[in-house]
């Protein structure tokens, strides 16, 4: 009967795996004690981070209103899971071609996909919510 030789390398990898499993279990227990589930997030449970670009032209009243309205909508409906990038076309006019901007102010939703655009000062809250897919449109709720 042959005796299987183990090297220190194989013993080390086993102990490393064991300590990783033990540390994951400890983290799960601590998370459950703090009210956090020990489960790893699945693909469908991923938190969506909204990436929004607001194209403006300086500090005009429409630009200021659009940013204010967007900020209120994001705080109310996105729960801090958003990023707003303000692009002033007076300073960087070449950036208008990237998202094919033809009017300002324009809001571009980069993520989640598909890309959506809303033109105006975003004062019509219902239209903005429907445009961002935060609220179903009347047509889709009537047919579905």
Sheet with 50-56, side-by-side order of all strands: 82-88, 50-56, 106-111, 116-119
Exposure class string for 92-127: b at 16+ Cβ within 10 A, else e: eeeebeeeebeebbbbbbeeeeeeebbebbbeeeee
User: What average pLDDT score do residues 43-50 get?
Assistant: 68
In the chain, the N- to C-terminal Cα span, in Å, equals 71
Pick the more confident residue, 104 or 31. 104
The predicted-structure confidence for 92-119, as pLDDT tens digits, reads as follows 999 999 999 999 999 999 999 999 999 9
- The predicted pLDDT at position 33 comes to 43
Q: Of 7-11, 64-68, 124-128, which gets the smallest average pLDDT?
A: 7-11
Please name which of 125, 137, 136, 132 lies closest in space to residue 72, comparing C-alpha atoms.
125
The predicted-structure confidence for 55-105, as pLDDT tens digits, reads as follows 999 999 999 999 999 999 999 999 889 999 999 999 999 999 999 999 999
pTM of the prediction? 0.64
pLDDT for 139 beyond 80: no
The C-alpha atoms of residue 50 and residue 16 are separated, in whole angstroms, by: 38
The C-alpha atoms of residue 12 and residue 81 are separated, in whole angstroms, by: 42
pLDDT band of residue 129 (cuts 50, 70, 90) is very high
The C-alpha atoms of residue 53 and residue 117 are separated, in whole angstroms, by: 9
């Amino acid at each position: 009967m042959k005796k299987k030789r183990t090297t220190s390398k194989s013993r080390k990898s086993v102990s490393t795996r064991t300590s990783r499993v033990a540390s994951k279990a400890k983290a799960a227990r601590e998370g459950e004690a703090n009210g956090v589930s020990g489960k790893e997030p699945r693909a469908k449970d991923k938190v969506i981070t909204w990436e929004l670009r607001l194209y403006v032209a300086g500090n005009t009243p429409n630009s200021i209103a659009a940013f204010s309205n967007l900020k209120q909508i994001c705080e109310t409906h996105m729960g801090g899971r958003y990023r707003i990038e303000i692009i002033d076309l007076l300073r960087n006019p070449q950036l208008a071609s990237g998202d094919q901007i033809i009017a300002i102010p324009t809001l571009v939703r980069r993520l989640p996909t598909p890309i959506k655009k809303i033109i105006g000062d975003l004062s019509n809250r219902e239209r903005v919510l429907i445009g961002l897919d935060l609220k179903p449109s009347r047509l889709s709720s009537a047919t579905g």
